Amino acid sequence: MGADDLAVTSTPIPGLLVVTLPVHRDHRGWFKENWQREKMVALGLPDFGPVQNNMSFNARRGATRGIHTEPWDKFVSVATGRVFAAWVDMRAGESFGATFSIELGPETAVYVPRGVGNSYQALEDGTLYSYLVNDHWRPGLAYPALHLADETAAIDWPIPLDAPEVEISEKDHHNPRLDEVTPVAPRRTLILGGGGQLGRALAAAFPDAEVADRATLDVADPAALAAWPWAEYDTILNAAAHTAVDAAEEPEGRRAAWAANAAAPAALARIADEHGLTLVHYSTDYVFDGEPRDGGHAEDDPVAPLGVYGQSKAAGDLAVTGARRHYVLRTSWVIGEGGNFVRTMRRLAEGGVSPTVVADQVGRLTFTAELARATKHLLETRPAYGVYNVTNGGAPQSWAQIAARVFELSGRSADDVTPVSTEEYGAGRSMAPRPRFSVLSLEKITATGFEPVDAGEALEAYLAE
């Protein structure tokens, strides 16, 4: 085989992948790259983050082990000898009970996703079986198992299980049949900040997710984070944040902002790496200084926040990008279920009030349903991890222009909204600095196949509801 013969192929069990390994031989023996993250991930193998390497030595032909469903992903291979390996899908769903088997030598490895039962039979004396796993073994760990002779799986063992040379552990002799096995439940999605506008939209878009508000899990509490059962999850949607922009400039608000917006995301990034989770984190246009940019701020523009809120969010962004599996969604001018600018303008319009509204801050509205839709898109299509700008589409507008449109849609004249400068509006008020230019470039997210809904259309639909 040559160096270019590395290949990854699928099997009838979803997510179970066979890896063909180039083996370089000469008169001294052979050499292979048993695990090569960069090459294998490029060919479609999950970047599963192994943390432990185990070796199982089988002194005699006929040693048979399994069918075990440990709570982690595995990358199995053979260092010396040969085995017959078999897998049974023990996950809840349509593929429950599906089987696959193959003979493994040094030239073949298999990626085994969590929830798929793993087993093998040594075909030669002195066989050394190796497996990488992405969680640490712990004493007393319980997990589902299946009887090696299960009639439904009907594995065709090359050495019959009742042959004299076959050795099976006493424990494996007593494993249940498939109809007695409780299917392995999928890992769940956890939504943090479930009480906020975005959290509620995410809960609607991910109905099977678990939703935690601050009372359930305070992300700024290290003890609470340490005690949470993270092994039960595969994805965190972190919508928890301190968003009181003006209050963040005060001593107490400053501490709260840094705890929720910087320290908590950093802790979640460490947790995500430790447990192999995908972390989705939501950020803001406030990480930028508001200086105009052709086409809007791109994801790789340098951050230069003006106030404490933006500074704490920028720090959180940087911490999250240190996690292996992360999506940071930067957004602007968020509108959802709850108190927000659009609802305030609608209330003023219906109440006969004619407000003054800032006209020199420009950006795009982002409806929480759009953020949730973009989140779902990224998690389903899995483009490269990183930072993505997400807002509704269409031409940028000022707050005053948006207010005027709300008034028109509420049956009032747009002229009932008086445009003013930021300085005029802030006179006599204690206000944090705001970026004047909040337009975010959408080129990167649209390149993944996501098409943002026009902000004007979304505004009309929102007010109609």
**What does DSSP say about strands 326-331 and 334-335: parallel, antiparallel, or unpaired?**
unpaired
Across 269-305, b (16+ Cβ under 10 Å) vs e yields: bebbbebbbbbbbbbbbbbbbbeeeeebbeeebebeb
Helix (H) or strand (E) holding 285: none
Strands 188-192 and 233-238: parallel
Helix axes 455-464, 341-350, angle to 10 degrees: 50
Rounded to 5, what percent of the chain is helix, strand, coil? 30, 25, 45
The CA-based diameter of the chain, rounded to the nearest angstrom, is 93
Closest CA relative to residue 374, chosen from 341, 439, 343, 330: 330
Q: Is 309 a catalytic residue?
A: no
Two structure tokens written together for 8 = 């990854």
Distance CA(54)–CA(132), nearest Å, equals 6
- State whether residue 144 is helix, strand or coil: coil
Residue 174 annotated as catalytic: no
CB distance 459 to 340 below 8 Å: no
Q: Which residue has the tokens 């001294």?
A: 28
Phi, then psi, of 380 in degrees rounded to 5: -85, -40
- Measured in whole angstroms, the distance separating CA 429 from the mean position of its chain's CA atoms is 40
47 vs 106: CA distance, rounded Å: 22
Helix ranges, 64-206 (H): 170-173, 197-205
Point out the catalytic residue in the list 111, 131, 282, 309: 131
H or E segment and range at residue 233: strand 233-238
| Sign of CA pseudo-dihedral 93, 96, 101, 106 | positive
Catalytic residue annotation = 68, 131
